[in-house]
Structures are given as C-alpha cells and as structure tokens.
Amino acid sequence: MKELKEKIKREGHAIGDDIVKVDSFLNHQIDVEFMDKIGEEFYKRFQNKKVDKILTIEASGIAIGMCVAKYFKVPLVFAKKNESKNLDKDTYNTEVFSFTKNKNYAVKVSKKYITENENILIVDDFLANGKAALGLIDIVEQANAKVAGIGIVIEKAFQPGGAELREKGIQLESLAIIKRIENGEVFY
Ligand code: 5GP
C-alpha cells in the first residue's frame, strides 16, 4: 500500500536496527481517517473469503480491527492481555512472547465470542517473529473455528514470522513489508 509506505518514511523512525516506531498514526496517536483506508484495503484483499469475525490483540490492534470490522460488517473481538476481574471465567488461554517487552504474557478470549466453525480474520499492527499471530491462531484452533487469513499493517521481512505463517498455507496480507533498516532508515 503505497500511501502507507510513504507515511512510514515520512512519520516513522527506527529504533536500532529492528524496531519501527509509528506512534504518530498507529501506536499512540491514531490517524483515524488513515486507519479507515487501512480497513478498506484489508477488505479488498480478503473480500473473497468468508469472514464472520475479526480477531486482534489489545492494545494497538483494536483501532485497526475496528476499521476492518466496519468494512466486513462483522464484530471485532480483541484478545485481552491484562488480568481483569470482569473478564468471563470461561476463556481460551494462550501465552505469547512479546518482541518489544522481551517477556511472556498471558492472552485470553472469552469462549462466548469465538465459537465452533466461525471464520476468523486475524489482524495486527506489526509482524516480527510471529508470536502474537501464532497465539491468536492457537485461540482460534482451541475454539474449533477457522483462520480465514491474517492481515498485518507492517511486516518486517528480516524477522521470521512472515515465512512461518506463509508456510502454514495461511493467506497473509501485509500492507507494508520492510526488508531492512539501515542507519535509521527503512527500506522496502
Ligand atoms: P511478533 O509477535 O510477531 O514477534 O511481534 C508482533 C507484536 O510485537 C505486535 O503486536 C507489535 O505490538 C509488537 N511489535 C513487533 N515489532 C514491532 C515494531 O517494530 N514496532 C512496534 N511499534 N511494535 C512492534
């Protein structure tokens, strides 16, 4: 998605040689109009698939997921990372290793919101080692539901997540694929 690649170049910056910071439109402040274009682009790429629900992971996935869900006219479910007294007790649970925080965290989805045979489109902001996406796939599989595809806003191709997910035969659509980061600059 040309507009996204240009926006990352213009507004984003690299931290070291493997992290991209896009706080001005995706991870802190949200460019809502632009997010809507992202939702429309994912809709175009997956409109041939049956999609009953969108699944993402809090926090940054929520804004993206909402825009995608709007185009598919289906609900968005977001996996919860934080313990909360008001979360249903009957949950699907998995563990995800966080690339940015360098530690494992528990992820939960109430069994009410993903059910057998539903077609689930997974979306997230970044794809690095694929642990967040694999955790969400695990939750879909625990529910005996199906993964319709995975939509990622920014994939870093120099990390192994993309290859691993494509090897599974899942339709993976990444709107910007960064090949490398050099001296603070991203290359597609
Ligand atoms: P993975 O699970 O694929 O290793 O990493 C994906 C998750 O880590 C995403 O949900 C995202 O929140 C975070 N992440 C990974 N790489 C980056 C990055 O370069 N920049 C930002 N802002 N988040 C990242």
Interval 16-64: pLDDT, tens = 999 999 999 999 999 999 999 999 999 999 999 999 999 999 999 999 9
| pLDDT number for residue 94 | 96
Average pLDDT, stretch 95-119?
94
| pLDDT number for residue 101 | 85
| pLDDT number for residue 100 | 84
pTM of the model: 0.97
Q: Is the peptide bond before 59 cis (omega within 30 degrees of 0)?
A: yes
| pLDDT number for residue 90 | 93
Alpha-carbon distance 31 to 16, whole Å?
25
pLDDT band, very low/low/confident/very high, at 110 (cuts 50, 70, 90): very high
Residues in contact with ligand 1 (CB, 6 Å cut-off): 19-21, 27, 60, 99-100, 124-132, 161
| pLDDT number for residue 84 | 74
Task: Quote the radius of gyration of the chain (alpha carbons, Å).
Answer: 16
Look up tokens 């997010």; give the residue. Answer: 35
Mean per-residue pLDDT of the chain: 96
Give the Å distance between the CA of 45 and the centre of ligand 1.
22
pLDDT tens track for 77-86: 999 997 777 7
- Whose C-alpha lies nearest to ligand 1, atom 22? 21
178-184 LR contacts (CB < 8 Å, sep 24+): 178/8, 178/20, 178/154, 180/17, 181/14, 181/16, 181/17, 181/18, 181/20, 182/17, 184/13, 184/14
| pLDDT number for residue 173 | 98
76-80 LR contacts (CB < 8 Å, sep 24+): 77/53, 77/109, 77/113, 77/114, 79/55, 79/107, 79/108, 79/109, 79/135, 79/136, 79/139, 80/107, 80/108, 80/109
